[in-house]
């Protein structure tokens, strides 16, 4: 997967630009709904939000971001 090297490069760049005293790292993962099973990284994943009137399993991509 290309996302791990990209995330490492982004974190290295942010760490070099901002002082360590002010740098907080937060990793967030977001499920993005997809209809196509052939979308890159698309899979059936469990939605832990347990939203009313929604299924527990979705066809999604999982996006991770460093904030």
pLDDT in tens, 17-52: 877 776 676 667 777 888 888 888 888 888 888 788
What are the E-state strand segments in the chain?
Answer: 27-33, 43-46, 57-66
Q: What is the mean pLDDT of residues 5-13?
A: 81
Rounded CA separation 7/13 (Å): 10
H-type alpha helices, 1-67: 3-17
Looking at residue 67, its pLDDT comes to 64
In the predicted model, is pLDDT for residue 2 greater than 70? no
pTM over 0.75: no
């Amino acid at each position: 997967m290309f996302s791990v090297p990209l995330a490492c490069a982004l974190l290295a760049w942010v760490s070099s630009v901002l002082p360590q005293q002010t740098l907080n790292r937060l990793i967030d993962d977001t499920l993005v709904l997809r209809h196509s099973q052939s979308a890159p990284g698309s899979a059936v994943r469990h939605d832990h939000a347990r939203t009313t009137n929604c299924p527990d399993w979705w066809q999604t991509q999982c996006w991770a971001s460093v904030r």
